[in-house]
Amino acid sequence: MIKCIIVEDETLAQNVIQSHLQKTEQFKLVGVCNNALEAKEILSKQEVDLIFLDIQLPGMTGLNFLRNLQNPPLVVLTTAYSEYALESYEFNVIDYLLKPISFERFSKTINKIVEGKLFSQLKENERQLTDHIFIKSNGKFFKVNFSEIIYVEGMKDYLKIHTADYKLVTHQTMSEMEKVLPSKQFIRVHKSYIIALAHIKSIYGNIIETGKASIPVGINYKEKVMQLTGKKLQ
């Protein structure tokens, strides 16, 4: 679950973002703040993954608030003024939403986050606490349990998730997926393959067998694979 807060002094804008978030399954709203001081207090008490941050805030602007944060969460800026877009890029924000924020535009931001932009920032122990991910394929978000995944196959900017019962193709990179999957359950064995440890049947030469597929082992990953067997690379 992605924990987020809204930092916005306009009640209408707060309600719009809350309404949009209620239509998503992956996000948990843990706070609504009217100004930067309230936001800072929440951040001091609990971990937050994402901030929906208005630029025009009373007392301190959203951009100045970001400048004063040592380790800021990921940020989506919200504003009624497009002239701040260029300045916002120095903060490496996820997106820049202009008010009034339609659900269609909001959904595009959500897609960016769900497809790896946020998950790549999650700590390893946080990833271990969940047993599934959501994969976007053909316009839908599919819940995929880690235990279902046999291996992941990379195809340029797309991935194919292989399970015993189905396959899903999604627009995502191998690097993003590698950061999402728990390292205790999965291993990258090739630039184009990540395999579930539980589904490895045998290892011989430069091949890993899963039972239904033979996965090549890349030369740069050979030593790591051999560590699974307790043997050193000769």
- One domain for residues 67 and 100: yes
| Domain final residue, candidates 88, 121, 154 | 121
* Structural domain containing residue 89: 2-121
160 assigned to some structural domain? yes
- One domain for residues 183 and 162: yes
| Domain final residue, candidates 61, 90, 121 | 121
- One domain for residues 109 and 13: yes
- One domain for residues 71 and 157: no
Q: What are the start-end ranges of the H helices in 62-214? A: 62-67, 85-88, 103-112, 124-128, 174-180
H/E element, 37: helix 36-45
- Contact (CB, 8 A) for 113 and 94: yes
pLDDT digits (tens, 9 = 90+) for 156-166: 778 999 999 99
Instruction: Provide mean pLDDT across the span 57-63.
Output: 90
- One domain for residues 84 and 141: no
Predicted local confidence at residue 189, as pLDDT: 95
Report the number of distinct structural domains present in the chain: 2
- One domain for residues 12 and 115: yes
- Contact (CB, 8 A) for 16 and 85: no
- One domain for residues 148 and 188: yes
| Domain final residue, candidates 68, 90, 121 | 121
Least confident of 6-10, 68-72, 159-163, 166-170: 68-72
CA 55 to chain centre: 24
- Contact (CB, 8 A) for 226 and 200: no
Q: What is the pTM of this model?
A: 0.52
Calpha distance 168→125 (Å, rounded): 26
Calpha distance 17→30 (Å, rounded): 13
Residue 100: CATH number of its domain: 3.40.50.2300
Residues in contact with 23: Cβ distance below 8 Å, sequence separation at least 6, in sequence order? 103
43-46: long-range contacts at Cβ-Cβ below 8 A with a sequence spacing of 24 or more?
43/5, 43/69, 43/73, 46/3
**Nearest-CA neighbor of 145 among 155, 137, 134?**
134
126 assigned to some structural domain? no
Predicted local confidence at residue 231, as pLDDT: 63
- One domain for residues 116 and 161: no
- One domain for residues 6 and 117: yes
Predicted local confidence at residue 213, as pLDDT: 93
